[in-house]
Chain A
């Protein structure tokens, strides 16, 4: 919900928007309060005159206080100061942004700059971005700048950024062919060709390696280029995308100073109509980690993002072993999904309809670096997820959801240690609207595996009152049955109060160590125990 403070200024509109976010954890072993706080503020000016070239102006800023951050963030994540400043103007011919800019070219294979606070990612470039439409159907984007890399390591520079010594520049062209063809428009068809190029500059580093007891310095490229071409066709529910990206020699810490070119191929085909959606995707990537800083590892300083071809689960046990693309140097990924809804008043659909989703993902390594062959060895399997989910609207106020899942997770690839974990997971969830102001939700989940920590069980109960107060409790227990079983109980009890655009959450949590993932990027989160406090407000 957005509360807009608007005022009329001649024919124009000026308003302010923003938000406050505070997430804290009070630990008592030993006592410590850790928190991440963000304050966003934007001032908007909109020119309501239809005849003017100038359309709008937005000035944005963000202040962060992460001096004592929540557990699990990288060492240099902590800090405080103004992390974001930008002014964006839109015109009838495009838009110009000066300051901190985000952006994505195509599927993000060579450029994807975004912010994800849960992971501690802020890939903004401090520079400029220009988007123009010089002719109908042609979209051009150019951007450049220096990438953010947390805060300065030195406290006396705490209000500034410790920029990496690099710059990144990029351009993207998109041609929407259907806009030039009346016949294609009549057929409800669209065809888009796109091409991008990103070049990063980084001053030479002295990187010395010992090879056969002799010292050698790497001759490192200062300019590294990456290109991407793509085509997308859409017609009457069908959608096909083919994208290929290639990156020139980019030796760095992450690829062990390999000078091999990187490349990625992505093919996606989908079909959807009312009640049915089908999607099939294939991806091959090799040595495509593209960073603004060659000596950087971890989460920060990434220019691109390899999309994860694995379903992002929300159920606790289905998400216990999530896949991360960031650690695999190369992979073949296959994913398919079918979603079908039986209509109401049919045998399977019942009175209110039933939806089934069948999803499968299988990810394997490359037979060897640079190879197009799939690694067929047992340890070459990185991740497999086959699941079927059934959602039944039983009665007017009662919903049921059930899921069965088979998963293989390669700990060695994702966590850097351990072997394969093969597991079977069963989930049952029910949601009931008891009355207009009271609703309840319950979940029971069970995971079976003879590997790593063995079997798990979890149960969750959630009570919502008056659309404002939510009380929830979750119990998670490691049943064991494997070598590294802990037999530990974990609990989370939360009370969440929501009023208009305010949201306050208070509770107690004891969680296991694990990975927090989003879009295939994962952050290790250590075991936590304490009182959680979270407050969000947007205006």
Chain B
């Protein structure tokens, strides 16, 4: 009996340990892609989160790698998370639509930041994906399937009324029950951000910040995408706090039931 036990213990103790040599640690990967499909990386961030600037850099390197035609980044500052909570109004970058999206995905006051999600898809670990996993997630989501067609155009924004007229065109090989949302994002917003060294940088430029949405919901309105090219018209008002020159509208086509993003396109207002 004792002998047997010793053998079992020896087997346990001799279990493997794999040591990876330095030259074998990184394996080059070619970016996968579907030229007709644009993904949306929702980046959850907050000005109190010291590691969020690193995540913003990761997002930017992904845009540089895949190109804006295949990846749109939208940075959301949800009011529910403690990394965005501040008593200084000038540091408040939250918007209610960002919070709706965050709460839908199960975000809480203490969800660790930075985090994100690609195309509002829930993985086996939930909605939230660590920035270190964004690239891998993006690689796995690129399939050869033909996505619905989506294009967006914007007329010149009226600088007095700050209203922009938008035209979206959709097409699908077979009818799809969808929702279409229009997200207004502002790039390079100067403001405060806690940096990895623990200090506040008051000259930080926040990238791709969600400012508002058409209709006040991140999930937009229900619509059908038909096998004929169809035009849809909408208007959006650019909030006073936003610089029109830095704004863009992201048209997001998502599944009607689970809100998975099927296609997205972005148009810069200037």
Contacts and interface: CB of A to CB of B under 8 A. Distances in A.
A379 B198 contact: yes
Contact of B17 (A208, A214, A248, A259): A248
B30 interface: yes
Interface in A122-180: 130, 132, 134-135, 140, 142, 144, 153, 162, 169-171, 173
Interface stretch (B44-52, B168-176, B223-231, B249-257): B44-52
B31 to A, nearest CB: 6
B111 interface: yes
Given A71-B109, A222-B18, A211 B9 contact: no
Contacts of A309: none
B232 interface: no
B125 to A, nearest CB: 6
Nearest to B135: A208
A416 B198 CA distance: 8
Interface stretch (B56-64, B206-214, B235-243): B56-64
Interface string A180-220: 00000000000000000101010001111111011111111
Contacts of B111: 74-75
Contact of A259 (B9, B20, B82): B20
Contact of B133 (A130, A207, A379): A207
A295 interface: yes
A76 B127 CA distance: 10
B112 A221 contact: no
A526 interface: yes
B160 interface: no
Contacts of A376: none
A249 B61 CA distance: 27
Contacts of A297: 112, 130
A295 B133 contact: yes
B12 A171 contact: yes
A417 B48 CA distance: 7
Given A75-B128, A142-B8, A197 B64 contact: no
A140 B11 CA distance: 13
Given A207-B132, A210-B61, A171 B9 contact: yes
Contacts of B112: 297-298
Nearest to B31: A215
Contact of B130 (A170, A295, A526): A295
Contacts of B61: 210, 213
Contacts of B2: 93, 132, 134-135
A169 B122 contact: no
A203 to B, nearest CB: 12
A138 B56 CA distance: 55
A412 B28 contact: no
Interface residues of A, number: 64
A416 B50 contact: yes
Contact of A142 (B9, B26, B130): B9
Q: Considering residues A75, A130, A140, A201, which has the most beta carbons from chain B within 10 angstroms of its beta carbon? A: A75
B124 A153 contact: yes
A71 B12 CA distance: 40
Given A208-B135, A219-B25, A249 B20 contact: yes
Interface string B1-30: 110011011001101111110101111111
Interface in A268-298: 295, 297-298
A219 B24 contact: yes
Given A132-B5, A153-B126, A513-B82, A223 B16 contact: yes
Given A210-B58, A221-B19, A72 B194 contact: no
A71 B26 CA distance: 40
A215 B48 CA distance: 30
Contacts of A525: 110
A237 interface: no
A460 interface: no
B111 to A, nearest CB: 5
Contacts of B198: 379, 411-412, 417-419
A461 interface: no
A210 B17 contact: no
A256 B131 CA distance: 11
B147 interface: no
B1 to A, nearest CB: 7
A85 interface: no
Contacts of A222: 16, 18
B132 A217 contact: no
A130 B64 CA distance: 54
A458 to B, nearest CB: 22
Contact of A153 (B19, B64, B125, B132): B125
A220 B20 CA distance: 7
B89 interface: no
A521 to B, nearest CB: 15
20 contacts: A74-B111, A75-B106, A130-B5, A134-B6, A142-B12, A171-B12, A171-B13, A201-B15, A206-B136, A210-B62, A211-B26, A213-B61, A217-B29, A221-B19, A248-B18, A297-B130, A298-B112, A416-B49, A417-B48, A417-B194
Interface of A: 71-76, 93, 130, 132, 134-135, 140, 142, 144, 153, 162, 169-171, 173, 197, 199, 201, 205-211, 213-225, 248-249, 251, 253, 256-257, 259, 295, 297-298, 379, 411-412, 416-419, 513, 524-526
Given A208-B135, A215-B139, A251-B25, 18 more contacts: A75-B128, A130-B8, A173-B9, A199-B17, A209-B135, A210-B62, A210-B64, A213-B65, A217-B136, A219-B24, A221-B18, A225-B15, A249-B20, A379-B198, A419-B198, A524-B110, A526-B82, A526-B109
